[in-house]
Each structure stands twice: as C-alpha cells, then as structure tokens.
Copies of this chain bind each other. A is one copy, B any other.
C-alpha cells in the first residue's frame, strides 16, 4: 500500500478546478504533480489555488504525453469536456495509470467497446467519478436495499432535471469574472447536433448499484423517446432576440427525453433528461420500489412495511436510523468538498483504490454501461422508439461478478465490520 500517490490532472475548466480546489488539493496523501491544460487563464486560476492552499506547485503542460510518460505518476484524472475523455482514458490505461473520468455520456457505442477492450487488455482500473453514487440519499437507498428492507425490487426512477438554459449552454451569459477565468462551453454543440439522453449517469449510476447491474443483473433493453425541441429556441428568442444567431439555430435535442430500461431480473428503470424547459426546482427524481417499501426523492419519503400511509418528508428521521455507515461517520465531521460531500467521497474512493492497488468501486464495466446510454438512446429515438438491445460489456461475466473492491467505499455491498474513518483520511 502506498501512503502517498501522485496524480496527473487533465483539465482545470469550471468543473475540473472545482474538484481540484475542493477535493484533491485538500488531501494530504495526494500530490498533483502535473496539470495538463490548454487555456492560459485557467492555468493562472489553478496556480492561484495551489498557492492559496500552500501545496507544492505542479508542473503545467499543454501536452498530455507529459503525464502519460511520467513514471512517477500513479493516476490520471480527466476533467475535460465530454468528447475528449474516451481517447484520453484509453491512453491513460495503456500507460498503466489508474484512470478517472468525469461524468458524461458516450458519443458512440464503439467508444464504450474500445474502453473495455483496453481495460481488458491492460487490467488498468477505470473509474467514472460519478459523485451521485456517494450522495447521502443514494447511499441510504443502497443501505436499505442491501439490508432487504425494501424487499424484492421492481422499479427505479431517476432524472437529470436541471434547467440549463443559462450559463451552462450560452457563453454570452457568463459573468465577466467567469470569462476572465477562462470558462468556456461545449455542451451547446451537443444540443444542436444530437437528440438523446445526454447526461444519464447521475441517476443511472446509483440505480445500477442498487439493482446489482453487472453483478448478478444486467440491463437487457432500452427504449428512448424525445419530446419536441422548442425550449432552447424559445429561450434564445426571448433572451437574445428573434434575429440572434442562437434563435436561428435548429436544435435537435428534444426538451424531455424519457428512457425505459428492462433488466435481466425483471426490474424496470425509468430515467428522464430534463434540461431545457423551465423548472421549479432541481431534482434527480430518485426512487426505488420494492415489495416491502419505497423511497422517493420527490416527497423526501421513505416508506417501510408497517408504517402508516401517507408518509412524506421523513427522510431526516430515516437518516438517523438507516444512514449508510460511510455517511453516518462523514456527517459527524461535516461534509466536505461540495455537492453535500459526495464529490469528496467519490474522489476519496478513487484515491483509496490507487493507494491500495485494488480495483475501483465504480469499475470499467460500470463506467461504460452508464456511458453507453447516450448512444443507445439516440439509436432508439432515431428509430421511433424501437427497443434496442443493451450490450453486455462483461461478455457473460455479470452473472457471477464479485464486488470490484470491498470495504467502506464499496457500492455493491454494505461494509459494516470495518470501522469507517473518513475524517482523517487524506
């Protein structure tokens, strides 16, 4: 086991810088030795972060190979845009370095197969940093499910209900400060060119862990349906004027995408992409249904056999009784690192795997399974909602796969024996 690891970090745009500043840089067992970034303004921002945190200044480079060829580097963390990650991840695995990628979706199915092929060829762990898997609510669900308190599961829902018609899509809406910091945009292109579930992993990741996907269960079919695409145009007309460039674009991306998946175990999964028409609130609409109980993010409700209906807003009580051990410990010291602490936890999970030389709790098969939804949903939508076969990336191994890693960060079983000490790590 290593006591300290060295990371090569790629991309310090908005998300990359955030994770750097709030997570990795705060970990004493992590040293960021090289940062790869093209945009000078961002490099400046990153330098400032290192200085402020009194951490050793990394080497900055615009050449990714500087990371791959550095024998000192144990792991690569790839925080670039959606498009560039798969290629970079393959190169990192081939260089024999633990590889982490930020959440997203695959452009094509080939990308997913290639990632798996390289993973199987090299044995280098690949982990998507799907923070929501370590969300307190999602881990509460995992805890309830693995203890059998929801009975036999039949259905899960999830959503990415997050209105993005603002800075996330339109560079014009960035503040002067953001522009000065080198924040740019790349998502809009996807909304112009594609019609698909383009951001499935926040909801699907935790659901797959709850349902044991790739470990005794697998998704066998997917169907996807797009509403018309009028939200972005309507927004652009109002915000930038009917004659603006943005208002004249024909956006392909439907405003609401509903995707239904069916699992080998007979469970169904329903996920919704909902980013371009106005919303009253952010939601991942996470819900789990079983023969003995349910949980629902929308009503902050956990319902277990024997309770009297109706139940609403009892999530806080449930945390007292059924908090996942990792969060139970974590809450005592105060969540760290943004997004209610899950950013911190997912980064810690990766770092722990690197230190211990184990596989990662979200492994290469999980990563590509969740990524693949983008390409599959596009295919189904194009064919008018025809069900498409979900590839078995494990090639049959899903039937008997053990957890990729055991212990406190494991998302496939609950670690109850081991003392959870999140506090003093890093």
Contact = CB atoms under 8 A, between A and B. Distances in A.
Nearest to A237: B291
A280 B152 CA distance: 17
A310 interface: yes
Given A223-B225, A227-B267, A384-B221, A278 B293 contact: yes
B291 A278 contact: yes
A405 B31 CA distance: 73
Contacts of A280: 294, 296, 299, 301-303, 307, 309-312
Contacts of A386: 386-387
Contacts of A182: none
A262 interface: yes
Interface string A270-281: 101010011111
Contacts of A235: 291
Chain A, interface SS category: loop
B225 A291 contact: no
Contacts of A186: none
Given A255-B154, A256-B289, A386-B386, A267 B312 contact: no
Interface in A222-250: 223, 225-228, 230-231, 234-235
Contacts of A270: 258, 270, 272
Contact of A234 (B254, B262, B291): B291
A397 interface: no
Contact of A152 (B234, B258, B309): B234
Contacts of A255: 154-155, 289, 291
A154 B310 contact: no
Contact of A266 (B221, B228, B312): B228
Contact of A279 (B256, B278, B281, B309): B309
Contacts of A299: 280-281, 298
A302 to B, nearest CB: 7
Contacts of A223: 223, 225, 260, 385
A151 to B, nearest CB: 7
A267 B228 contact: yes
A199 B278 CA distance: 30
A163 interface: yes
Query: Which of A152, A163, A291: most chain B CB closer than 10 A?
Result: A291
B225 A260 contact: yes
Given A223-B223, A282-B309, 7 more contacts: A227-B268, A231-B291, A256-B268, A256-B289, A258-B260, A280-B302, A384-B387
15 contacts: A154-B230, A154-B277, A155-B277, A223-B225, A228-B265, A230-B266, A254-B268, A258-B260, A258-B268, A270-B270, A278-B292, A278-B305, A280-B312, A281-B309, A386-B386
Ordered nearest first, which 3 A-B pairs have the shortest CB separation?
A: A228-B266, A280-B303, A281-B310
